Amino acid sequence: MMSGGVGKYTHIDNQPQVSGSVPAVPDPGHVTVQFTADSNLQTFPPSGSQGKISGGSRPPRDADDTFSKPISGSDEPQQGGWFRTFTIAAYKPYFDVDTTEVLERIKDSLFPFRGTFTEKTANNPDLYGPFWICTTLIFVAASIGTFVTYIAHKLQKKEWNYDINLVTWSAGVFYGYVLLVPLALYVILKYFSAPSGLVQLFCLYGYSLFVFIPALCLSVVPLEIFRWVIAGVAGFMSATFVALNLRAHIMSAGERWFLIVAGIFLLQLALSVVLKLYLFTVTV
For residue 192, pLDDT over 70 is answered with: yes
Q: What is the pLDDT of residue 26?
A: 55
pLDDT band per the 50, 70, 90 thresholds, residue 89: confident
Q: What is the pLDDT of residue 24?
A: 55
Q: What is the pLDDT of residue 11?
A: 47
Q: What percentage of the chain reaches a pLDDT higher than 90? A: 25
Query: What is the spatial distance between Cα 76 and Cα 83, in angstroms, rounded to a whole number?
Result: 14
Query: What is the spatial distance between Cα 246 and Cα 118, in angstroms, rounded to a whole number?
Result: 8
84 or 277, greater pLDDT: 277
- Mean pLDDT lowest among 20-24, 64-68, 264-268: 64-68
Query: What is the spatial distance between Cα 237 and Cα 29, in angstroms, rounded to a whole number?
Result: 89
Query: What is the spatial distance between Cα 178 and Cα 277, in angstroms, rounded to a whole number?
Result: 20
- What average pLDDT score do residues 66-78 get? 41
- What average pLDDT score do residues 243-252 get? 80
- What average pLDDT score do residues 70-97 get? 64
- pLDDT tens readout for residues 3-59: 444 444 444 455 445 445 555 555 555 545 454 444 444 443 444 444 434 444 444
Residues 60, 61, 67, CA angle at the centre, nearest 5°? 70
**E strand or H helix at 136, and its extent?**
helix 128-155
Question: What rounded mean pLDDT belongs to the chain?
Answer: 74
pLDDT band per the 50, 70, 90 thresholds, residue 179: very high
Q: What is the pLDDT of residue 74?
A: 42
The residue among 135, 134, 142 whose CA lies nearest residue 280 is 142
Task: Tell me the residue type at 77.
Answer: P
What does the domain layout of the chain look like in residue ranges?
102-279
Q: What is the pLDDT of residue 110?
A: 92
For residue 248, pLDDT over 90 is answered with: no
- Integer Rg of the chain from CA: 38
Global pTM value: 0.67
> CA of 125: how far to CAs of 15, 34, 105, 198, 262, in Å?
88, 60, 10, 10, 25
For residue 96, pLDDT over 70 is answered with: yes
- pLDDT tens readout for residues 105-149: 999 999 989 888 988 888 889 999 999 999 999 999 888 888 878
